Chain A
Amino acid sequence: MENRSLVTIAHHSRQKIEYLIRMAQEFEKCPNRRLLDGRIVATLFFEPSTRTRLSFETAANRLGAKVIGFADPKVTSGTKGETLKDTIMMVSNYADIIVMRHHLEGAAQYASEISPVPIVNAGDGANQHPSQTMLDLYTINQTQGTLENLNIYLVGDLKYGRTVHSLLTAMRHFNPTFHFIAPDELAMPEHYKMYCSEKGIRFVEHQDFDADTIAGADILYMTRVQRERFTDLDEYERVKDRYLLSKAMLAKAKPNMKILHPLPRVNEIEYSIDDTPYAYYFQQARNGLYARQAILCDALGISLDDIINDKTIINN
């Protein structure tokens, strides 16, 4: 049987990405349906996350599925020493699809190899977070009218930030120019720069972060400098405030420019920016619902045609 699990977006073709975007667009038109009536979605969060979990659970609920799962790894049999394999095999007896977040890298890949039901990776350690990338792509397409030939500025933690790594990989089909703005300690890792060179993706590295640097941006993707990824907390204290976006820095911004952020934000985007037309991070988060509905349906073998011809739409 074909493995419809979503572990990473890195291998997705351009066509597949465009297909999923089209699916998400259908869900944005009508997010409330009974398409997944009778199905059970399991959300297994071995690592804490409220946003992603609520987003997936809402996506499932609004399509009529029932949701089971756990949000706190401390209550699972993992604490008794149960292997991931056994947990997955056990849950696959109950659910039609498993959405999982795990602190170990490669956990979702492994789960997809042993699970009889599809696995959707909601984040594995510092490795992949494909649903975030899908919603990022959806949002970029929505705000710019296209994914092609854009100037995408990635700011903040480019070393440990899996969302920027994933976005970089996914955008390779669309001829982007990337701009990396990060402190030396958090610079984009060498192997990603090599990846860009190999794939013919243009990139520019900047040291400064001011109105002039970002004037050419179509998309300004801000990231949080994550304390939990640091082993040296003194280093964290030194860099955490360096790359903050203030309203004054938007003086030369292009009218179509949009500021994205995977959230939660701390202080990297000044609150006064929220009221400007550039701020798009909350709409971006809302798009997570549609992107995840598309991901769940695709993993369960539901096609774009099924969704377009869906008779179960609830109009309210």
Chain B
Amino acid sequence: MKRQELQVAALENGTVIDHIPSAKLFQVISLLHLEHVHSAVTVGYNLKSKKMRHKSIIKIADKFFTDDEINQLSVITPNVTLSIIRGYEVVEKKEVKMPEELIGIVKCDNHKCITNNEPMRTRFRYLGKERGTLQCQYCNREIKLSEVKLV
């Protein structure tokens, strides 16, 4: 892609998260704690996209995420494209994979769950593609992936 065609400036080194549904952009920023990053973060919001009609994109300079950090996105934006940039080149593309356990990310929708009544982190287990649910490891309630709310 020629650099002058980009709507958002190219990175020398860092991570690009592309094809974010625009409605989820701010959740992604929050989940990855991007408000605490010191290097340059460029955000494109409501950009035209061939794939999705509208999308958002985040480019974070000089920041690389662990697999665990990236996999947290699976609950809100499982289909983002993640590219690792070094020397203006894409050296690696990463996929977001649903981790087996999600700690401190998803809110339990059971108001009688201990997690909603005590200062503590939630813990959810992914029950697999067929079931398509997350199960609270405290009250055992299952939540459909599509209905997940973040803490």
Q: Identify the A interface with B (CB < 8 A).
A: 83-85, 102-107, 109-110, 124-127, 191
Give the number of residues in B that approach A within 8 Å (Cβ atoms).
16
Q: Which of B85-141 contact A (CB under 8 A)?
A: 110, 112-115, 117-120, 136-141
Question: Across the interface, which residues of A come within 8 angstroms of B141, CB to CB?
Answer: 105
Rounded to whole angstroms, the CA-CA distance of A291 and B144 in the bound complex is: 37
Among residues of B, the one whose C-beta sits closest to the C-beta of A10 is B140
- Pairwise interchain contact B118-A110, C-beta atoms closer than 8 A: yes
Q: How far is the CB of A119 from chain B (nearest CB, A)?
A: 13
Among residues of B, the one whose C-beta sits closest to the C-beta of A105 is B139
- Pairwise interchain contact B110-A105, C-beta atoms closer than 8 A: yes
- Pairwise interchain contact B115-A106, C-beta atoms closer than 8 A: yes
Question: Across the interface, which residues of B come within 8 angstroms of A109, CB to CB?
Answer: 114, 137-138
Among B113, B119, B120, B142, contact of A105 (Cβ-Cβ < 8 Å): B113
Q: How far is the CB of A266 from chain B (nearest CB, A)?
A: 24
Q: Identify the B interface with A (CB < 8 A).
A: 110, 112-115, 117-120, 136-142
Among A83, A84, A103, A191, contact of B112 (Cβ-Cβ < 8 Å): A103
Rounded to whole angstroms, the CA-CA distance of A106 and B117 in the bound complex is: 11
- Pairwise interchain contact A83-B115, C-beta atoms closer than 8 A: no
- Pairwise interchain contact B112-A125, C-beta atoms closer than 8 A: yes
Among residues of B, the one whose C-beta sits closest to the C-beta of A8 is B140
Among B113, B115, B120, B142, contact of A85 (Cβ-Cβ < 8 Å): B120
Q: How far is the CB of B39 from chain A (nearest CB, A)?
A: 37
Indicate whether A107 sits within 8 Å of B114 (C-beta atoms), given known contacts A83-B119, A85-B120: yes
Question: Across the interface, which residues of B come within 8 angstroms of A84, CB to CB?
Answer: 114, 118
Q: How far is the CB of B139 from chain A (nearest CB, A)?
A: 4
List of 8 A-B pairs having minimum Cβ-Cβ separation, nearest first: A106-B138, A105-B139, A106-B114, A106-B139, A104-B114, A107-B114, A110-B114, A109-B138
Q: How far is the CB of B129 from chain A (nearest CB, A)?
A: 14
- Pairwise interchain contact B142-A110, C-beta atoms closer than 8 A: no
Rounded to whole angstroms, the CA-CA distance of A103 and B115 in the bound complex is: 13
Among residues of A, the one whose C-beta sits closest to the C-beta of B116 is A104
Rounded to whole angstroms, the CA-CA distance of A191 and B141 in the bound complex is: 10
Beyond known contacts A105-B114, A107-B138: 20 more, CB 8 A cutoff: A83-B119, A84-B114, A84-B118, A85-B119, A85-B120, A102-B114, A103-B112, A104-B112, A104-B114, A104-B118, A105-B112, A105-B139, A105-B141, A106-B113, A106-B115, A106-B137, A107-B114, A109-B114, A110-B115, A125-B112
Question: Across the interface, which residues of A come within 8 angstroms of B115, CB to CB?
Answer: 106, 110
Question: Across the interface, which residues of A come within 8 angstroms of B138, CB to CB?
Answer: 105-107, 109-110
Rounded to whole angstroms, the CA-CA distance of A125 and B110 in the bound complex is: 11
Q: How far is the CB of B143 from chain A (nearest CB, A)?
A: 12
Q: How far is the CB of B106 from chain A (nearest CB, A)?
A: 14
Question: Across the interface, which residues of A come within 8 angstroms of B114, CB to CB?
Answer: 84, 102, 104-107, 109-110, 124
- Pairwise interchain contact B118-A83, C-beta atoms closer than 8 A: yes
- Pairwise interchain contact A127-B139, C-beta atoms closer than 8 A: yes
Q: How far is the CB of B77 from chain A (nearest CB, A)?
A: 27
Rounded to whole angstroms, the CA-CA distance of A126 and B119 in the bound complex is: 21
Rounded to whole angstroms, the CA-CA distance of A124 and B140 in the bound complex is: 11
Among residues of A, the one whose C-beta sits closest to the C-beta of B133 is A191
Question: Across the interface, which residues of B come within 8 angstroms of A125, CB to CB?
Answer: 112, 139
Among residues of A, the one whose C-beta sits closest to the C-beta of B130 is A198
Among residues of A, the one whose C-beta sits closest to the C-beta of B137 is A109
